[in-house]
Amino acid sequence: MFDTTLRIAPFVIRVRSPFASVVEHLEFFYRDCEKPRDAFVDFDIRLLPGQGLHRLWRPQARFLVDDQNPFLPLPANQAAPMFEWGLNWTIASRSLGYVVFHAAVLEKAGNAIILPGFPGAGKSTLCAALSHLRGWRLLSDELAILDPATGALIANPRPISLKNASIDIVTRFPGTRVGRQYLDTRKGTVAHAAPTRDAIERADQSAQPRWLIFPQFSPEPGRQVTPVSHAEAFALIGEQSFNQERMGELGFRALCALLDRVDCHQIEYSSTEDALDLVAQVTQQD
């Protein structure tokens, strides 16, 4: 069985699996991660074949972290995306003192932009475009990890998760490495785009939140920037938070502090170019 220990900032993760697809995925996307020996392991993850007789005609994959088995099994050919989903779940649900919410985070000159993720809003495509076309450093495309002690956002640079139409769009970005496609998952066709080298190498640098931008893709032509009130932004972020309730007062105060320091806008756009222009307009960054 394949057994490796990866440093995927800010965590050390051990992964064991007999699936060739998982090995291929890790080698494609995490080959630059140092593999410390005898390190403290935060999450001990195993992706194992399903149990029971039906594995003979319907092979399945199971995700385990330590002794927990949080998901129903998936078809075995989805073991690699299951690793990413399972790791997201683990980071969001383990109590580690961080506030975790669903958003992409990117940074330029120490200032971070937060793109909360509502389904269909186009967050991942925009995130890939900002990182691969405009030089923003990727902190995460799924998980905003907020440290209440410093108010900083912590980087967890991992492959950007692409769905359906966005796969073709992002594959055309120059210099982008896109992995294998997984068909017929719960989310449709799924593929991943590798973060830039810079994003991995600077993974230990956190960033200060500066802008909160709610992306809204619409097929109708037209583009628009609308300011969003802090109260509304707080409510919207709360909806996207995985553990604000569990974080109690500390989480509440950390989110209030975050909102005190960011400008909040909604952008509506019908093309990636428009979205990039609007972000540049809001952030005054190229």
Partner 1 sequence: MDRVTLLDLMQHPQRTAALTPSLWSDLIATARNANLLGKLAHRLREAGVSVPAGPMRHLDGARLLSERQHHSVAWEAQCIDAALAHTGEPIVLLKGSAYVLSGKAAGVGRLFGDVDVLVPPHSLGKVEVRLMIGGWTQMKSDEYDQRYYREWMHELPPMVHVRRGTVIDVHHTILPLTARHHPDAEAIIACSTPLPGYRSLRIPCDEDLIIHSMCHLAHEGELHNALRDLDDIDSLLREHTVAPAFWDRLGARAEHHDLAMPVALCLALVRRFFDTPVPDSLIARLASGNARALERLAQRYDTAIAPHPEGRPPLRSLAAQLLIYIRSHWLRMPPQLLVRHLSRKAWQRLLPDASAAGKNEQGA
CB of 212 to partner 1, least distance (A): 25
Q: CA–CA separation, 42 vs 13, rounded Å?
A: 6
Q: Would you count residue 252 as binding partner 1 (CB under 8 A)?
A: no
Residues 172-231 interacting with partner 1 (rule: CB under 8 A): none
**Among residues 4, 18, 41, 180, the one that binds partner 1 under rule CB under 8 A:** 41
Beta carbon of residue 46, minimum distance to partner 1 (angstroms, whole number) = 8
Nearest to 198 by CA among 178, 171, 175: 175
* Closest approach of partner 1 to the CB of residue 9, in Å: 13
Beta-bridge partner residues of 215? 267
Backbone angles phi, psi at 5, to 5 degrees: -120, 125
Residue 237 touches partner 1, criterion: CB under 8 A: no
| 43-49: strand order across its sheet | 2-8, 11-17, 43-49, 60-65, 74-75
| Cα–Cα distances in angstroms (integers) from residue 262 to residues 135, 207, 211, 228, 256, in the given order | 21, 13, 5, 11, 10
Closest distance between partner 1 and the C-beta of residue 67, in Å?
3
For partner 1, which residue of 150, 183, 248, 253 counts as binding (CB under 8 A)?
248
Question: Quick check: helix, strand or coil at residue 148?
Answer: coil
Establish if 34 lies at the interface with partner 1 (CB under 8 A).
no
CB of 10 to partner 1, least distance (A): 9
Provide the minimum distance between the beta carbon of 153 and partner 1 in the complex, in angstroms, as a whole number: 16
**CB neighbourhood size of 222 (10 A):** 9
- Kindly tell me the sign of the dihedral angle through the C-alpha atoms of 31, 140, 11, 80: negative
Residues 95, 175, 220, 286: which binds partner 1 (CB under 8 A)? 95
Residue with tokens 């990413």: 84
List the interface residues with partner 1, window 43-62 (CB under 8 A).
44, 46
Asked whether the beta carbons of 112 and 156 are under 8 A apart, the reply is no
Nearer to partner 1, 60 or 166 (CB): 60
**Sequence-separated (6 or more) residues with CB below 8 Å from residue 250:** 148
**Six token digits for residue 285:** 């960054």
Q: Does 93 bind partner 1 (CB under 8 A)?
A: no
Residue 38 sits in the site that holds partner 1 (CB under 8 A): yes
- Binding flag, residue 141, partner 1 (CB under 8 A): no
Decide: 206 and 155 in contact? Cβ < 8 Å. Answer: yes
* Residue 42 in the binding site for partner 1 (CB under 8 A): yes
Q: Which of residues 68-87 bind partner 1 (CB under 8 A)?
A: 68
Residues in CB range of 57: below 8 A, 6 or more apart: none
The answer to whether 250 contacts partner 1 (rule: CB under 8 A) is: yes
- Does 94 bind partner 1 (CB under 8 A)? Our answer is yes
Give the binding range for partner 1 (CB under 8 A) out of 48-56, 151-159, 185-193, 246-254. Answer: 246-254
Asked if 255 and 276 touch (Cβ cutoff 8 Å), the reply is no
Tell me which residues touch partner 1 (CB under 8 A): 12, 38-42, 44, 46, 64, 66-68, 94-97, 246-250
